[in-house]
Amino acid sequence: MSANKSYSLQSHDLASSIQQVQSQVSHCMKKATLFFGKHFDHPTSNFKQKGKAAGTAHLHKNELRFNYFMYQQDESLFIETVVPHEVAHIIVYQIYGNKVRPHGKEWQAVMKKIYHLEPNRTHNFDIPLPKQSYTYQCQCQQHVFTIRRHNNAQKGTQYICKLCRSSLSFLAQHS
Ligand SMILES: [Zn+2]
Ligand SMILES: [Zn+2]
């Protein structure tokens, strides 16, 4: 069945991607162990991160979540910057606990002294489009609506195209 084939191909890609992320996590953990002369508990890693964040560190679960959408945009940039950023949160938490600020001077020192990176809080990856979008049609073109606008339109709000001045009507939903 072709559907099965494409699914297994995709999951293979995902598996090798998560392997690449995990080996970089290990590499970053090793560097921290060498630097501090201390053992750290290795976090688990996955691609559960969605939305605007490139990654998040779930300190109590010792879990790192990474954004696959952004990873795919530039794998090496992601591996070189996002992974150390999140690992640095794990290191700082395992040394200082909750006593320090997430991107405070302790985290910045780990980024600079161990990973030789600029301690940037933000990333430049593209942010995904809203998961659900709605296409509307006027007399001259198609417009993409978010769910919020779509709901307003369905409740009676009239949207007018700035170009052709005709009112928009619902065409299709994408998810
Ligand atoms: Zn951070
Ligand atoms: Zn128009």
CATH architecture, domain 2-114: 2-Layer Sandwich (3.30)
End-to-end CA distance of the chain: 24
Cα of 119 from ligand 1 centre, angstroms? 9
Which pLDDT does position 130 carry in this prediction? 65
pTM for the model: 0.70
Choose, from 75, 80, 86, 118, the residue flagged as catalytic: 86
Burial (CB count <10 Å: 0-12, 13-18, 19+), residue 38: exposed
pLDDT value at residue 131 = 67
- Asked whether the beta carbons of 149 and 134 are under 8 A apart, the reply is yes
Q: What is the Å distance from ligand 2's center to 143 Cα? A: 9
- Predicted pLDDT at 129: 66
From-to residues of CATH 3.30.2010.10 in the chain: 2-114
Active site residue 80: no
At residue 174, the pLDDT reads 76
103: Cβ contacts below 8 Å, ≥ 6 apart: 119, 121
pLDDT for res 78: 96
Q: What is the pLDDT of residue 7?
A: 42
Mark the ranges of the chain whose per-residue pLDDT is less than 50.
1-10
Dist CA 152 CA 147 (whole Å): 9
Give distance in angstroms: CA of 160 to centre of ligand 2. Answer: 8
